[in-house]
Amino acid sequence: MSWLSLSVTSADTLADVRARGELRYGNDAEGGAPYIFHDPAKPEELLGFEVEFADALAAKLGVKARFVQNNWDMLLPALSDPEKFDVVIAALERTPENLAKAALSRPYFAYGQQLVVRRDTANVTTLADLRGRPVGVLSASASHRLAEAAGAVAKVYQDNVNYFSDLEVGRLDAVLTDSPIASENLKSHPQLKPAGEPFEPGYYAVAIRPADTNLLAAINDAIAAFLQDGTLQRIYSRYGLWNTQQETLATWQAPADAGPAKRRTAWTEWRTYVPMLLRASITTIWVTCGGMLLAVIWGLCLALLRLYGIAPLRWLAIAYIEVFRGTPLLLQIYFIYFGLAQQLGLKLSAGLAAVLSLGLNYAANEAENYRAGIQAVPKGQSEAALALGMSQWLALRRIILPQGLRISLPSVTNDFIAMFKDSSIVSVIALVELTKEFQIRALDTGDYLGLGAMTAAIYFAISYLASLGAGWLERRLHRDRR
């Protein structure tokens, strides 16, 4: 039984769509041209061949189409909720894996896999040439599965734009993507070229909840009609996409073995998924530890500059703290990883960029923790130290800082544990940590519950061990040494 079949659907979704007067389709506007994108002349309007296909499909059903924004890699899980949207029209591949999660229409678009490399790259024409080398792929796509199966080091992205930028600056050796994405992006990236011809043909289909059989039949009839009356040809020709491959859609027949893939669960295949999650947790641990080490050192420097520095340095420290605490961590990651590479040619690895982003961001919080701890030390102790002939620096180092750091330690260790969870955001720069590994495998299997429980258990174990270590450190530092 598909996990989507457990959702609550109305008795006749097709009748509901017609009564409502609109067909709600899920897609992600970040998909980009030629699929779905905002009109440069009218930014409030959407263009793209999938937008026009959705409009034509809705008109065939006697209603209007309404776009509903949803992250691409979460479209199928969201389809289980009838309140969100009725169908998914978003370059969803007609594969056994997806058939296990939703009902899929007959194909409305044919595509192939395309390798893209830099123009100075030689001797790369097939995926086999990239074994052991970094290849950019879209998360939860056929490209992702093919790259892994071929032994390439799959670098997983959440959009169809940033992996081309990373390929340009040399962080990747190639990109594997669907042919329409490659064709469109090669227009704006003259430094790149296709490597070989498209291969591994596939199809896009509309996803529907399994119980919505009437809606599925109506959509299949509409697509067949579009192929006969030339509607698809007219739409695709406007985007330069009509070719001999699209002509095969009219004679397409479901393969005899095209049934859904066998349902996979984390509990029955825990020997496969637990090691995957544990390997990903290693990335989470070293990114967090590296980021926190930078945060505590740089945060202490900021706190001392703010409290004891000369006026210009004090103002700069205050400005840094306010800027980094007042802007989103995600924006800072994009700036450090993509912005510095594109504007300054500083090609940081994903791991280094992740450590820098987390460390620089959390340093602002640690600076305030240290400042609060230092200011909590009674002034009399500083005055007594100065009266005994100590210099201000010696009094700070021997009297004030040891006490202030002990006072601020609980807040610092709490931030350390919080960073373990915040580290999941670095997946946007193709670093597969624990949460991203969970998302990838859950999308493959549809088992969010089992994999989620395993992932949560690993996070809890890491956080609990960190809490025990923090408690031990606090007890040791607060021990009465008399």
Can you spell out the DSSP letters for 102-142?
A: SEE-S-SEEEEEEEEEETT--S--SGGGGTTSEEEEETTSH
Q: Measured between alpha carbons, how far is residue 8 from residues 22, 124, 265 in Å?
A: 20, 49, 22
Q: What is the DSSP string of 256-314?
A: TT-SPPPP--TTTTHHHHHHHHHHHHHHHHHHHHHHHHHHHHHHHHHHHHHHHS-HHHH
- Is it the case that residue 14 has pLDDT exceeding 80? yes
pLDDT tens-digit readout, 202-219: 999 999 999 999 999 999
- The HSE-up count of residue 201 (CA atoms within 13 Å, CB side) is 9
Tokens 């199809």 appear where? 203
DSSP state of 171: S
Higher pLDDT, 10 or 320: 320
Question: What local confidence, expressed as pLDDT, does residue 44 receive?
Answer: 86
Decide: 426 and 433 in contact? Cβ < 8 Å: yes
- DSSP element (H, E) containing 55: helix 49-60
Q: What is the mean pLDDT of the chain?
A: 89
- Is it the case that residue 115 has pLDDT exceeding 60? yes
Higher pLDDT, 183 or 161: 183
367 falls in which pLDDT band (50, 70, 90)? very high
Q: What domains does the chain contain, in order, with CATH numbers? A: 3-108+205-251 (3.40.190.10), 110-203 (3.40.190.10), 270-477 (1.10.3720.10)
Question: What local confidence, expressed as pLDDT, does residue 101 receive?
Answer: 86
Q: Can you tell me the mean pLDDT for 345-353?
A: 89
- Is it the case that residue 6 has pLDDT exceeding 60? no
Q: Can you tell me the mean pLDDT for 330-346?
A: 89
Cα 170 to chain centroid distance, Å, stands at: 21
**CA nearest to 207, candidates 27, 421, 450:** 27
Decide: 91 and 27 in contact? Cβ < 8 Å: no
pLDDT tens-digit readout, 453-482: 999 999 999 988 988 888 888 777 765 444
pLDDT tens-digit readout, 268-283: 888 889 999 999 999 9
- Is it the case that residue 313 has pLDDT exceeding 70? yes
Q: How far apart, in whole angstroms, are the C-alpha atoms of residue 482 and residue 473?
A: 18
Cα 288 to chain centroid distance, Å, stands at: 18
Q: Can you tell me the mean pLDDT for 98-118?
A: 94
Cα 91 to chain centroid distance, Å, stands at: 18
pLDDT tens-digit readout, 120-156: 999 899 999 999 999 999 887 889 999 999 999 999 9
Question: What local confidence, expressed as pLDDT, does residue 419 receive?
Answer: 93
Q: What is the DSSP string of 343-380?
A: HH-----HHHHHHHHHHHHHHHHHHHHHHHHHHTS-HH
The proportion of the chain whose per-residue pLDDT surpasses 90, expressed as a percent, equals 63
